[in-house]
Amino acid sequence: MAVAAPPGGRMRRLLGRDPIGYAFVAPYAIFLVALFGYPLALSVYISFFDFFFAAPGAQVARPFVGLDNFAEILGDPVFQRAILNVAEFIVINVPLTVVLSLVLAAALNARLPFRVFFRTSYYIPYVTASVAVIGVWLWFFSRGGLLNDTLGPLAPDPSWLVNEFWAMPIIALVVTWKQLGFYVLLYLAALQNIPKELYEAAEVDGAGPIRRFMAITVPGVRPATTLVVILATIIGANLFTEPYLLTGGGGPNGASMSPVLLMYREGIEQGHAGYAAAMGVILAFAVMTISAINRFVLERE
């Protein structure tokens, strides 16, 4: 049965029941389009050209090269290495982040002395500038640093940051530590939504603290876990500062080179904007795919 269109139907169908809502979302929508949408579209466009940035009005050849940039990148051993590096990073960083932040959040959610102090402590690294924090870690992991002094003869040779095996795990560890506060906060918020009665009922049924954690807390914060996994993956894939500063530009011998650091080197330093843009497109596509898989796996009932 056909329903008659309400008065002014066409306009309403286009703009919805409360057109004023668009006025409220407009500032952010414009911000998003101008600072994310437009550059994203432009970088996809650039990736099909042998592009470099030039002065306005300058006569320069920037030929259309189709998929050449993509083909070249996929065959570039430095890029392949960078992708493997960042995959290694994510494999270490993401599970570690999920486990540590959930355990810490659960602990902070309990009746703990100095709770506020601990909450703040976990959050401080997150809001501190990477550059400042990295200075401390450099000192900790360097050849004559605190860690090696403590380990004595057990210290690896070559030392951590110049060791091809250890450079990437160390970076994953430092980034996990740095970001942890943010994820703890996400989990703390999620924990508020778990009804206390569930814990009480479980306790009456004789469940111990570990059982209660596994059977109530973990499934109770599942939506937050999805968010944490996806965010940690995206942030991890954009790794730049740590390999740039902690291991001296992706060293040793490219063992900690990340795709974004490589994009910076190619696009900004060496002026191959088309090539770097294509890398960005590949990376964005890969991250979106991984996030979609994460979401699918974690959210299915």
Partner 1 sequence: MSRASIRFASIATILMLVLSSCLGEDGQDGGASAGDGATAATGPIRIWYSNNPEEVAWGEAVVAAWNADHPDEEVTAEEIPAGESSEEVIGASITAGNTPCLIFNTAPAAVPQFQQAGGLVALDDFSDGASYIQERTGDRAEQYKFTDGKFYQMPWKTNPVMIFYNKEVFRTAGLDPENPPLSTYDEFLSTAETLVAEGGVEAAIWPSPDAQFFQPWFDFYPLFAAQSGGQQLVEDGEPQFNNEAGLAVANFWRSLYDQGLTPNEAYNGDSFADQQAAMAIVGPWAIAVYGDAVDWGAVPVPTQDGMDASEVHTFSDEKSSAMYTACENRGTAWEFLKFATSEESDGQLLELTGQMPMRADVVASFPDYFEANPEYEAFADQASRTVEVPIVPNSIEMWQTFRTAYSESVIFGTTPIEEAFNAAADEIRTLVSGS
Residue 125 or 158 with smaller CB distance to partner 1: 158
Work out how close the CB of 67 gets to partner 1 at its nearest, in angstroms, rounded to a whole number.
20
Query: For binding to partner 1 (CB under 8 A), which residues are involved?
Result: 14-16, 22, 29-30, 32-34, 37-38, 41-42, 52-60, 135, 138-139, 142-144, 158-159, 161-162, 248-254, 265, 268-272
CA-CA distance, 292 to 298, in Å (whole number)? 10
Residue 28 or 114 with smaller CB distance to partner 1: 28
Q: Among all chains, which residue has been given the structure tokens 């876990």?
A: 225
Work out how close the CB of 72 gets to partner 1 at its nearest, in angstroms, rounded to a whole number.
14
Q: Are 272 and 52 in contact (CB under 8 A)?
A: yes
Residue 164 or 203 with smaller CB distance to partner 1: 164
189 phi/psi in degrees, rounded to 5: -65, -40
Residue 203 or 299 with smaller CB distance to partner 1: 299
Work out how close the CB of 295 gets to partner 1 at its nearest, in angstroms, rounded to a whole number.
16
Q: CB neighbours of 222 closer than 8 A, spacing ≥ 6?
A: 298, 299
Residue 161 or 229 with smaller CB distance to partner 1: 161
How is residue 263 written in tokens?
Answer: 């994009």
CA-CA distance, 106 to 286, in Å (whole number)? 32
Give the three-state DSSP class for 249. Answer: coil
Question: What's the sign of the alpha-carbon dihedral 224, 228, 231, 233?
Answer: negative
CA-CA distance, 198 to 261, in Å (whole number)? 47
User: Which residues is 64 bridged to in the sheet?
Assistant: 49
Residue 38 or 285 with smaller CB distance to partner 1: 38
Concatenated DSSP letters of 19-40: THHHHHHHHHHHHHIIIIIHHH
Residue 229 or 281 with smaller CB distance to partner 1: 281
CA-CA distance, 90 to 175, in Å (whole number)? 10
